A and B are shown apart, each in its own frame.
Chain A
Amino acid sequence: MKRSQSFIRWFFLLIPCLALSGCWDRRELDEIAIVMGSGVDLTDDGQIELSLQIALPMGIQGNMQMAGKKKPVMLVSSKGTVSQDQIGQIQQQLSRRIFFGHRAVFIIGENFARHGVDQTLDTMLRFPDSRYNCFILTSKGATAKEVLSSPYPLEVIPSIGMKNMQVGKYTFAERIDKFLDSFAAKGFMPATGAIRLIKNGQESSFVIDGEAVYRENKLVGYLSGTHSKAFKLMRDQGSGMKIPVRIEPAGKLSTGMITADLLTTRREVRTFVSQGPPKIEVEFRAKGRIIANDTTLDLSKPANLSRAEQMLSNELQKMISGLIEQTQKEFQSDVLGFGDILHIQHPYAWKKLQTEWLDTYPEVPVKVLASVILERIGRTQKPGHLPK
């Protein structure tokens, strides 16, 4: 009797377990629309346009016999004023539930970025299954939708291509969590990689070759060329970067250039607070190796090597000063995070400085020191084309 009573009690305890939890949250893999990348744009009539790139598992090569006949991804988009609402509108177009758990990239359209991002962005990023290790990019010269609809020949799913570009060390990569951090910080302005469309002959594709710089919540411009390189160096993403530098005038056989590959980089920022605006001193140290020597010099000679090191240091110093000048004068945005370092090194001074840091930063004198040590000079002592 007692036994059967306890059994009944257990039975009724188990029933609410089934009813109250679990099972109803179950979604099979074929019941979800896996979002690979998403983008947000501002249309000309002032509406927000949300675009999702959704993977079609059936279209992925090697999975099923149908592969190749179907496209691997589809793009859906919706316009409106509130971005969270548009997820609902897109959901109406889809037979499967939108699932953000595998989103690889989030692209902010240029128009939208210039208009200011934070309000709408927050609702997108707050979505429960959105992951913070997804990469954030800003489109340049195109809308996010155009970037997302661009094919990419190397990968089946274009978003995966973007993600892999960001994982590799040749582009500036910012993940959502860091990006949001810099939104919240007063001494650190957000920056993302900049993605733009290019044409490779007939095929169109995309490239991530610059950085988008924000001032507070608005896009203020893009870095490119040597400034882009210097930016990556200053944000500690510079190892493996190739720096060409001229160390002698071009000759008949040679261009007079050597190229160094930076192995490790180290950035030290010192701040000084006294009367007037604070002073900042940046010391940049790098170790590298020579990967190309198109000069008449034999780098195994110490004199030549130290000359090369000197020229490289000068080059780096020029690159970095140029970048800082651009961020101070053109963008007026502390995208290198000097304010944060000032906060750490002079917390009391920062209390006063933080309120007007946006305006102070362009006036702050910055001194840049750079030194390069070349650890290896490569396989050959002299360039191969020179007579022995």
Chain B
Amino acid sequence: MRRKTGTSRFADKPFEDLGHIAERNVSDKLEDNERHIRTVFDKCADLVVRRLDLPGSVPCLAVYLNMLIDDTVWEEGVLKPLLNLDAEPQNADRFLEDMVIKLGSSMKPQIADNMPDIVRNIVHGSVALFIEGQKRALRFIANTKLHRQLDEPVTEAIIRGPRIGFIENIDVNMSLLRQYIRSPLLKMERMSAGSVSQTEVTIAYLETYAPQSVIDEIYKRLERLHLESIISSGYVEELISDHPNSPFPTIQATERPDTVAASLIEGKAALLVSGTPMVLVMPITFWFGFQSVEDYFMSFIFATMLRWLRFTFAFMAMALPALFVAITTFHQEMIPTSLALSLAAAREVVPFPAMIETLIMETTFEALREAGVRLPRPVGQTISIVGALVIGQAAVQAGIISAPIIIVVSMTGIASFLLPHYGMSQAISLLRFGMVFLGGMFGLYGVVAGMIALLIHLSNLQSFGVPYLWPIAPFNRLGLMDVFIRVPWQYMKKRKWHKEQQLELDKS
């Protein structure tokens, strides 16, 4: 299934760029410029317009948005050098160029003459300097370094490995990546998306490593992106994903720079979105959901064991309740006799059929999990107590729910948290309900039919041209070395495998 080509559904909506600013150039009259800026930033309380006199009594106008500008940088780095400038306006034409050379500081002065461009820079945290008699303006980048501390990634904690995560600031994120890959091959192309929010988006990839077709495809999809605002990478993920209607993620979202760096070296591309710590990595295959970056940091033996543990528990998370329901309601002869008697005894007083019971408990579990995330931290403790005591013990004692169901549901709950990627674990949790329904309706036959349907769905998926089940289907011997086992590093030739993957891409 290919994503339908054509315009996105946002395309036909009229949207406003910063375009109500008429396309015009900088005037040589300060008053004109000031009037224009003030109309553009009408009712913007954070706009600061300051009149200055440069040495040689050249009047000029500094415009910026308060708080987007670092005060000390502005005072020490821009204002002081400007006021101490001994440049006499000898040559009016070369006046700005002279200033740029003389200032030449960390403020990265640049010359601009297009008004909308200047406005765009102002909202991104620049200072614009209009000078009397000049048809061009200067701009300085004086971004405030307003961001939180680098912190351990909360959603993807690992035991062994770097304890640093991305933050909301895209510049910091880019430099984090650069710290892992210190090579000019690491390209980071910046663009802004979102007609109103003007969010910075950066595509990062390793040139010659990443297949050009994937990069082109990402660009093509980003161009189709007609959004007014992008607050989080989730917006982009859903809109550029190959299969937004599938529960399975075809784009990985991670807040670990090491994961992203490793993915880049594998020839994947990353999309950094300003304002969110979640970086998108693409293309991915189904198996990413079972690989943690930690696998590569620890002994390959344990990494392989953990991988199989994840496979097993992912299967359990999806199918255990369904199998339980199917076997206890349709295929009782499959249960060992003494277990069958125990289960029968546990069911004696219970009012609901096993399927309803399981669905009730699964829903309750999902609710508890969600509540645990939303609840303020001090209250969070109570949830576990309520969950464990009220739901677990009291429900069994009251004879509303049978004890084996509680065991199955809690096993399933634990199993779903074993997956290192939240997206994959969500997909599996969701499918669980369908499976229980099928198991309760049609027995093992239904469960197997569901599994086959799932397999068909998975083998239809693609992520930016890469088949989702690669290297199993289509089969690739070399690619297998990092799927069911994690081979020792000396045999791990990702670069070569990636070539294979690229061949696969060329085929499609």
Contact = CB atoms under 8 A, between A and B. Distances in A.
Given A21-B442, A25-B443, A63 B329 contact: no
Interface string A350-372: 00000000000000000000000
Contacts of B348: 30, 57-58, 64
Interface stretch (B69-77, B106-114, B333-341): B333-341
Contacts of B330: 22, 25-27
B293 interface: no
Interface residues of B, number: 25
A17 B442 CA distance: 9
A29 B441 contact: no
A335 interface: no
A18 B441 contact: yes
B328 interface: yes
A26 B329 contact: yes
Contact of A129 (B333, B340, B343, B345): B333
B341 A28 contact: no
Size category of the A interface is 20 to 34
B345 A23 contact: no
From A23, A29, A55, A60, residue with most partner B Cβ within 10 Å: A29
Contact of A26 (B337, B342, B353): B353
Contact of A28 (B333, B353, B441): B353
A361 B453 CA distance: 60
Q: Interface majority SS on B: helix, strand, loop or mixed? A: helix
B411 interface: no
A23 B330 CA distance: 9
Contacts of B333: 99, 101-102, 129, 131
B340 A28 contact: no
Nearest to B442: A22
A60 B346 CA distance: 11
B472 to A, nearest CB: 29
Contacts of A21: 442
B328 to A, nearest CB: 5
Interface in A1-49: 17-18, 21-23, 25-30, 32, 34, 36
Contact of A23 (B337, B342, B354, B441): B441
A263 interface: no
A22 B347 contact: no
A63 B342 contact: yes
Nearest to B337: A102
B344 interface: yes
A18 B347 CA distance: 25
Contacts of B312: none
Nearest to B332: A101
A99 B344 contact: no
Contact of B344 (A30, A129, A157): A30
26 contacts: A21-B442, A22-B441, A22-B442, A26-B330, A27-B329, A29-B329, A29-B332, A29-B347, A29-B354, A32-B344, A34-B340, A34-B344, A36-B337, A55-B344, A57-B341, A57-B345, A57-B348, A60-B345, A63-B342, A63-B345, A64-B348, A99-B333, A101-B332, A102-B337, A102-B340, A160-B338
Interface of A: 17-18, 21-23, 25-30, 32, 34, 36, 55, 57-58, 60, 63-64, 99, 101-102, 104, 129, 131, 157, 160
Interface of B: 328-330, 332-333, 337-338, 340-348, 350, 353-354, 440-443, 445-446
Q: Which 3 A-B pairs have the closest CB atoms?
A: A101-B333, A57-B345, A63-B345
Given A28-B354, A32-B332, 15 more contacts: A18-B441, A23-B441, A25-B443, A26-B353, A26-B440, A27-B330, A30-B347, A34-B340, A57-B348, A60-B341, A63-B342, A63-B345, A64-B348, A104-B337, A160-B337
